[in-house]
Amino acid sequence: MSVLVMKFGGTSVATLDRIKRAAKRVGREVANGHDVIVIVSAMSGKTNELVGWVGETSPLFDAREYDAVVSSGENVTAGLMALTLQEMDIPARSWQGWQVPLKTNGAHGAARIEEIPTDNLNAKFGQGMRVAVVAGFQGISPEGRITTLGRGGSDTTAVAFAAAFDAVRCDIYTDVDGVYTTDPRITSKARKLDRIAFEEMLELASLGAKVLQTRSVELAMRYKVKLRVLSSFDEYDETAGTLVCEEDEVMENNVVAGVAYSRDEAKMTLISVADRPGIAAAIFGPLAEAGVNVDMIVQNISEEGRTDMTFSCPVDQVKRAEQAMAQAKERGEIAYHDLVADTEVAKVSVVGIGMRSHAGVAARMFKSLRDENVNIKVITTSEIKISVLIDRKYMELAVQALHDTFELEKAG
């Protein structure tokens, strides 16, 4: 029998009424002939509460006990969902990560999935179980301890189960009804996409579109798992949501699929560093060790053996970057005249697989920003993405202008 994976996020299971609503959707898929693996998050707000309790109890906490406490939110939801399904006369059973078992490495708080053996669940399906309700976000380490997968862990859990069980599809139920051409809160012209390619979704997720977590999209692309993003609050419709799939399954042919943005960026410039082999490693090695997430990098033209090096990072990592550079300077690894931080910038990007075969996208983007008198500070490009750093106060204007320029309100 075919397996379908359904994942319900925290807002979708926030109350008993919402759990019942989600359970009805599961029941509909069982009636359609699927064996269903349901991945559940903790009820909305519960994980933050548990994290807060750990912090109050032990500021310098043991990561193993942190995982034991924080993973409990999903266990509650899984049990309640299984009970709700049983009340609907659907054979269901809850499973914690260790019972499957979902095997991870030992990196507590940010564990990586290593293997999901299918024997236990398949045996129960063979004995008449129709729904396995699995606690998301958690697994078991090689030492036999409970682990958690970090932010977005339930999405990642769902995709991993879909890959392991060769599921027909992985449905991610959330509080939005799909993937949009841009944030509908910024422009009312934003349009829901029926389909989007894995690569486009991966870029949008990494650029701050919070519909799906980056790790889950990476996993889906690697194992060719069809993902569908849809709202648990809308009425049932077989064509609802957005399907994330392979490039050749995308019907629309817009050059640009979407406009993404990241509001909280900072631009940092090391002024007058030596222009010599190894200088980039001397700069970005210490930044990586300090946990600074460097994104865009630009090296200016060299003059008399000196150059300026500019990079962007999240604004909340500026202090960490400044400290890492100061320590590297003290150790004599690098020499620079000054480090200038601009914490009032934002990143705006256009993304689309159509860029591979269409020239002039960058020119249209830059002309659109020029026409709105928006100054570009840094530019980076990839095969399917162009990103610019601009003053944060112009971010919404830039997003709206680019959405209009590429006529994203129209289906391709």
- DSSP line for 324-386: HHHHHHHTTS---SEEEEEEEEEEEEEE-GGGGT-S-HHHHHHHHHHHTTPPP-EEEEETTEE
More reliable by pLDDT, 304 or 65? 65
If you average pLDDT over residues 317-328, what whole number do you get? 96
If you average pLDDT over residues 281-308, what whole number do you get? 90
- 125 labelled binding-site residue: no
Q: Which residues fall within 8 angstroms of residue 292, CB to CB, at 6 or more apart?
A: 313, 317, 320, 321, 324
pLDDT for 208: 61
- 174 labelled binding-site residue: yes
Tokens of 258: 């979407």
- 180 labelled binding-site residue: yes
- 28 labelled binding-site residue: no
Q: Which CATH superfamily is domain 3-175 in?
A: Acetylglutamate kinase-like (3.40.1160.10)
DSSP state of 43: P
Q: What is the pLDDT of the chain when averaged over all its residues?
A: 93
Residues of the chain with CATH 3.30.2130.10: 259-410
- 8 labelled binding-site residue: yes
% the chain with pLDDT above 70: 98
Q: Which residues fall within 8 angstroms of residue 96, CB to CB, at 6 or more apart?
A: 75, 78, 134, 135, 138
DSSP state of 299: E
pLDDT band for position 144 (50/70/90)?
very high
Q: Which CATH superfamily is domain 259-410 in?
A: VC0802-like (3.30.2130.10)
- 185 labelled binding-site residue: yes
Nearest to 51 by CA among 24, 37, 69, 34: 69
pLDDT for 213: 81
Q: What share of the chain is helix, strand, coil (3-state, %, to 5)?
A: 40, 25, 35
pLDDT for 234: 83
pLDDT for 240: 87
> Following DSSP, what letter does each residue of 63-76 receive, concatenated?
HHHHHHHHTHHHHH
- 332 labelled binding-site residue: no
> Residues 280-313, buried b or exposed e (16+ Cβ, 10 A)?
eebbbebbeebebebbbebbeeeeeebbbbbbbb
If you average pLDDT over residues 243-266, what whole number do you get? 87
pLDDT, tens digit, for every residue of 95-118? 999 999 999 999 999 999 999 999
- 173 labelled binding-site residue: no
Residues of the chain with CATH 3.40.1160.10: 3-175
- 66 labelled binding-site residue: no
pLDDT for 250: 82
Instruction: Tell me the three state secondary structure of residue 121.
Output: helix
How far, in Å, CA of 46 to CA of 10, rounded? 9
74 and 136 Cβ atoms separated by less than 8 Å: yes
Q: Calculate the CA 90 to chain-centre distance.
A: 33
131 and 85 Cβ atoms separated by less than 8 Å: yes
pLDDT, tens digit, for every residue of 164-176? 999 999 999 988 8
Give the residue ranges of DSSP H helices in 228-293: 279-289
Residue 11 has pLDDT above 90, yes or no: yes
- 319 labelled binding-site residue: no
- 175 labelled binding-site residue: yes
pLDDT band for position 247 (50/70/90)?
confident
Residue 132 has pLDDT above 90, yes or no: yes
Instruction: Tell me the three state secondary structure of residue 94.
Output: strand
pLDDT for 85: 98
